[in-house]
Structure 1
């Protein structure tokens, strides 16, 4: 079994999710997978970006 690096995947990010970045993630996901499902990381990124006021 591989040893963990000690970092958790849910650590707070120092960079907020912006609509532009979320859009790029959605485009890349759609290009590679053919679609973006509502529970995918790309969809969650878009929802997070929409909640951030002042990042348009």
Structure 2
């Protein structure tokens, strides 16, 4: 029997960062993206302190 299995890995973390308040949401996202690119914010999958959840479901 062949079945399809859906596997979802979820890494979650919250980090407070300071960005300039320009009133433009797009600029805030760009600032955060730059912080991720330059490793000022580590991705949750890399950061050992992140919450991890694994979900497996037959579909």
Common fold by TM > 0.5:
no
Q: Which has the higher contact order (CA 8 A, sep 6+)?
A: 2
TM-score normalized by the length of structure 1: 0.31
Pick the structure with greater CA Rg. 2
Flag the structure with higher strand content: 2
Flag the structure with higher helix content: 1
TM-score normalized by the length of structure 2: 0.30
